[in-house]
A = this chain, B = another copy of it.
Amino acid sequence: VTEAGTAAFAAAGPAVLDAQAIATRVGGTLRGDGTRQVARVAPLVRAEPDCLTFCAGPAQATALAATAAAVVLVPPALADAPAPGAGACVVVPDPQVALLSLLPVLHPPVPRAPGIHQTAIIGRGVVLGEGVSVGPYAVVGDGATLGARATVHAHAVIGPGVAVGDDSEVGPHATIHAGSALGRRVRVRAGARIGNEGFKYVFTGGAHVKMPHVGRCLLEDDVEVGANACVDRGTIDDTVIGAGTKLDNLVHIAHNVKLGRLCLVMAQVGIAGSVRVGDGVVLAGQVGVSDNHVIGDRAILAAQAGVFGDIPAGETWSGYPARPHREQLRAHAALYRLAGLVRPLERLLASRGDSPPDATGEGR
């Protein structure tokens, strides 16, 4: 059992790799001293002589020239770039992909310890898969199911009847309400609220009366939900987060929303009721989508966009209210140029005897 309910990576693992081993492991081309050793990973500008680092692209060429790292992962465009202080370079098609396979070697994750902590409360009829791990003070409701190798961290609360798939992880202090189901390899981070009742009221008898929510909240395989994010259950329909979609911290997903597969929903985005989002959509930070709209596949919404209509597939929109990004940029540039012309234009129109707009309503 992970005592304090938090996945941990070692600050520095016992593993040491040399440049040749790195090149072999990631299928890259070695340039320089293959015997140079690395014990940890650090960013390019702060890497010391025992570090592995990476260079994302030409914009970092100056930092590459100055680095003291033992080994640098570089893209093909920088294969011949000067790096006099580096022990070696390893040329790979995508340094970040290469890093992905090296990080767990140098910073191995703390191994899961299967088992049920003695303070965890397991309800009646709970089905526990092989190798589950349930942390201190976690509460698992009656009739819930935890798949093989599922992890429930400290202080998480799982409602009655909830299904948690194989290899999924429920973070510390997270709440999974009744009516929710999580697929495989789902990760719900600390303090996230899954399957809470939505914000649907009917005004009757002089009061806002809450509509009972009986729909489900479904997180498909490989979904991640960020810290303190909220995904409400449906009213009489279901809320669904498609496979492989990732939600960042403090995101709000309202009742009945359908999110497609492989979307990225960044921090503090809010999606109102019954919105349908396609596959591969990117919603940047603080985007808001008002209710019932449809966002097409692979659409991109820039940060803080306010969506009050449907968004066509494949397009990039931005601003408030959201418009195609190119139009938005053009309009904003125009506004700042026009701001200096208001008085001359008013004077010009006056000189022609054009009636003032407030009197005619023109321009509406």
Residue numbers of A with Cβ under 8 A of B are: 2-9, 11, 41-43, 46, 53, 94, 96-97, 99-100, 103-104, 107, 109-110, 119, 121, 123-124, 135-137, 139-142, 144, 154-155, 157-161, 171-173, 175, 177-179, 189-191, 193, 195-197, 199, 201-202, 204, 207-214, 216, 222, 224, 226-228, 230, 232, 236-237, 244, 246, 248-250, 252, 254, 256, 262, 264, 266-268, 270, 272, 284-286, 288, 290, 303-304, 306, 308, 319-321, 323, 327, 330-349, 352, 354, 356-358, 362-364
Contacts and interface: CB of A to CB of B under 8 A. Distances in A.
A9 B212 contact: yes
Given A41-B236, A341-B345, A6 B177 contact: yes
A83 B332 CA distance: 49
Given A193-B191, A303-B306, A335-B331, A178 B141 contact: no
A323 B337 CA distance: 13
B230 A228 contact: yes
B288 A303 contact: yes
A21 to B, nearest CB: 19
A342 B346 contact: no
B249 A193 contact: yes
Contacts of A345: 338, 341, 345, 349
